Copies of this chain bind each other. A is one copy, B any other.
Amino acid sequence: MTNLDAAFSAMADPTRRAILARLALGEATVMEIAKPFEMTQPAISRHLKVLEGAGLIVRRAEGTRRPCRLAPEAISEIDRWLDMLRRALSRNYDRLDDVLAGMEAKK
């Protein structure tokens, strides 16, 4: 599994995106993260493991707590990939622009 596989498939789950959104507000412990969800703690622990495995979050140990935060480099590889698509799309768009410009010119 590449990092991209892991990162995209981690983000494909709404619970995990909600966790990321929560962490966007700042560090939180497993219990703090779990509270708003109608789901058991082990389920959340697993989601966190997936997010960590995908390099989207990092965790430190603080006594018995395990606070999580967004990983600094989280979305850089995803960004690079999406840039490729973005560029392709804007090339297509430019081409369309040319076509439209051509049509204008002919009028």
Contact = CB atoms under 8 A, between A and B. Distances in A.
Interface of A: 2, 4-5, 8-9, 11-14, 17, 20-21, 23-25, 69-70, 72, 74-75, 78-79, 81-82, 84-89, 92-93
B72 A85 contact: no
Q: How many copies does the complex hold?
A: 2
Given A5-B13, A9-B12, A12-B5, A24 B85 contact: yes
B79 A82 contact: yes
A51 to B, nearest CB: 12
Contacts of A72: 89, 92-93
A88 B8 contact: no
A17 B78 contact: no
A20 B25 CA distance: 33
